[in-house]
């Protein structure tokens, strides 16, 4: 009986492990002071590397993002230590920087509904299969 309880306890303990994975950039602890000295895009790239996103409309903004993903066994995934660095760039110069942390970022919930696409054709699996017949050339013909 004791062995059964011990085995059950070990299985439950393994299922409740805690694991943290870092996603995105790993920012230095003194990010505020290091970014304050950055004046050019080359300095910014030497400090953090290439940005994850560059805006294409309006002001050119380089965006760097990093967070910790926490796994708590069977419980839902959580995120903390979220940090976003925004750098406004004009030419080769960094004109302004802004650092956002957990409290500055809004909580966004994803809606589970789907948006219907107007005039979309919805096919089942059989219709999809027969719809693709003749669309692809045989292998080796070089087309």
Burial 45-55 (b: 16+ CB within 10 A, else e): eebbeebeeee
Q: Provide the residue ranges of all domains of the chain, joining segments of one domain with +.
A: 39-106
Angle, CA 33 vertex, CA 30 and CA 62 arms, to 5°: 95
What confidence score (pLDDT) does residue 5 get? 83
Tell me whether residue 81 is exposed, middle or buried, using C-beta atoms within 10 angstroms of its C-beta: 0 to 12, 13 to 18, 19 or more. Answer: middle
Please count the other Cβ atoms lying within 10 Å of the Cβ belonging to residue 91. Answer: 9
Task: Specify the pTM.
Answer: 0.61
- Taking only the tens of pLDDT, the chain with its 143 residues reads 888 887 777 666 666 677 888 888 888 888 888 888 889 989 989 888 889 988 888 889 999 998 888 877 777 778 887 888 888 888 889 898 888 888 887 877 878 888 888 877 788 888 887 877 777 666 656 55
């Amino acid at each position: 009986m004791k062995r059964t309880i011990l085995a059950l306890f070990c299985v439950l303990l393994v299922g409740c492990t805690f694991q943290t994975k870092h996603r995105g950039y790993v920012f230095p602890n003194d990010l505020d002071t290091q970014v304050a000295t950055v004046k050019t895009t080359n300095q910014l790239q030497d400090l953090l590397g290439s940005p994850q996103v560059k805006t294409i409309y309006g002001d050119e903004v380089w965006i760097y993002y990093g967070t910790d993903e926490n796994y708590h066994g069977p419980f839902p995934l959580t995120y903390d230590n979220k940090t976003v660095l925004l750098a406004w760039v004009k030419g080769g110069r960094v004109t302004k920087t802004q650092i956002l942390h957990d409290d500055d970022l809004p909580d966004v919930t994803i809606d589970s509904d789907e948006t219907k696409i107007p005039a979309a054709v919805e096919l089942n699996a059989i219709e999809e299969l027969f719809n693709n017949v003749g669309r692809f050339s045989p292998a080796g013909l070089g087309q």
